[in-house]
Homo-oligomer: A and B are copies of this chain.
Amino acid sequence: MSFIIRPGEKKDAQSILDLIIELAVFEKEPDAVEITIDDLLQDGFSNHPKFKTFVAEETNGNIIGMVLFYERYSTWKGKAIHLEDLMVTETKRGIGAGKELYTSVMKYAQENGFKRVAWEVLDWNTNAIDFYKKTNATVYDEWRVCQMNEANLKQFSSENI
């Protein structure tokens, strides 16, 4: 392989942010990313990190992919991992970096006693869905993701004192 997988470090924050933005563009939400490099550094690479990362690094030092994840809690199974983002930059697809990043999270979860790994995928991303199914993950048709965004959260809270 022409790349290695290693834990992400502070010095990778800009590359990680670039990949977050590239993924948002791929997901047709180019303006959705509001976090900044300072947010990423503070939230992920300070004393109490809110997430962990692995990065795929080429031998020349280029970061070509990353996976970002954190702990959740299942009231059915116990402690779980949520895989928030998995991304390989467009020009570096097909060399296996995505599978290695995915595998690194699964192994992390298994070695650290987590009972489940969960994530979300867009229904039109059939390449990803096919890959997940091949690894024996389950893609659920009947669950819907719900979100209250910041503006509506503020509005709802002010109307329900």
Nearest chain B CB to A52's CB is how many angstroms away? 10
A75 touches B79 (CB 8 A): no
> Which residues on B sit within 8 Å (CB–CB) of A132?
146
A76 touches B106 (CB 8 A): no
Q: Which 4 A-B pairs have the closest CB atoms?
A: A110-B157, A136-B152, A143-B145, A117-B148
A51 touches B35 (CB 8 A): no
Tell me, yes or no, whether A130 is within 8 Å of chain B by CB.
no
* Chain A residues within CB distance 8 Å of chain B: 20, 23-24, 29, 32-35, 39, 43, 50-51, 68, 70-79, 82, 84-85, 103, 106-107, 109-111, 114-124, 129, 132, 135-150, 152-157, 160
A116 touches B75 (CB 8 A): no
Q: Which one, B34, B117, B119, B146, contacts A153 given CB within 8 A?
A: B117
B71 touches A50 (CB 8 A): yes
Nearest chain B CB to A61's CB is how many angstroms away? 23
> Which residues on B sit within 8 Å (CB–CB) of A35?
74-78
A147 touches B123 (CB 8 A): no
> Which residues on B sit within 8 Å (CB–CB) of A24?
76
B43 touches A109 (CB 8 A): no
- Give A58 to B129 CA distance when docked, in angstroms: 46
